[in-house]
Amino acid sequence: MDLTDISEELAHIEGQISDIFRALSNGFQKLEKIKDSNRRSRQLEELTGKLRECKRLIKEFERVMKEEEIRNTHDTNKRLNEKKQSMIKELNSYVALKKQHASENKRLDLFDGPDGGDVFAEENVLLASSMTNQQLMDNGNRMMDETDQAIERSKKVVEETVNVGAETAASLKAQTEQMSRIVNELDSIHFSIKKASQLVKEIGRQVATDRCIMGMLFLIVIGVITIIIVKLVHPNNKDIRDIPGLAPPANRKLL
């Protein structure tokens, strides 16, 4: 099935997976011809990396397939799903083959290990037998000195770690105290703001009351001024009562 007509992205992913499958096939064929356990381990690690990459690409293939599922027909989605299943099946076959070779490689290590150990043991025995007592003592003293130096370095590392821990604890304590002071200051500021808000409200109420009083006084003054003006303009108008202290002057008789 040509995926180029369906999706270029799917076709690109399929091409990468096919390349990895070919590399896996060649790699396992090469692995069967390798007898050295170390080389087999390196080859298995390389093949394991390719298996992980192939698994990632199959998941990416599935993700893109789900994104384009709405745009494709039912038959196309069915063929894509079959293609995915075939790739998963092929990947599982290589995983099983890898497990088989890994178990065989472990058996080889078990068989090869004692022989290799005997070789190194024989070399160490030959080196020790060719050394004099003084050389053996010097070598032992040197190894003890190296051990003591390693212990001293470890002690220094521990002391530095303890000092860093103490400094960190002191710093954390100082920061905690600073945070406590900041919280207390914030509480004080909040209380001050609350008191200021209450004071502003009281001042506002007082100002409103003063304005009402001033308005009433202003109206009274305007009324008095109006009456005075009317009395002065119409002194004989009996409908307007005289204001105490502002009665019109009596008519005086001339002698």
Is the residue at 146 inside a domain?
Answer: no
Closest by CA position to 1, among listed 113, 67, 65, 79 = 79
Residue 224 domain-assigned?
no
- Provide the domain limits for residue 79: 1-106
Whether the CB-CB separation of 24 and 51 falls below 8 Å is answered with: yes
Q: Is residue 216 part of a domain?
A: no
Asked if residue 221 is part of any domain, the answer here is: no
Please list the pLDDT of the chain residue by residue as tens digits (255 residues). 567 777 788 888 888 888 988 988 888 888 888 777 788 888 888 888 889 899 899 888 888 888 888 888 888 888 888 888 888 888 898 888 888 877 776 655 544 444 434 433 433 433 444 456 666 677 777 778 888 888 888 888 888 888 888 888 888 988 888 888 898 888 888 888 888 888 888 887 888 788 888 888 888 888 888 878 877 777 666 665 555 555 555 554 444
What's the token pair of residue 203? Answer: 């001042």
Give the pLDDT of residue 247.
Answer: 53
- The pLDDT value recorded for residue 118 is 40
The answer as to whether 157 is a domain residue is: no
CATH of the domain at 51: 1.20.58
Is 169 within a domain? no
The number of distinct structural domains making up the chain is: 1
Residue 184, in any domain of the structure: no
Which residues lie below 8 Å from residue 46, measured CB to CB, with a gap of 6+? Answer: 27
**Residue 100 is assigned to a structural domain of this protein:** yes
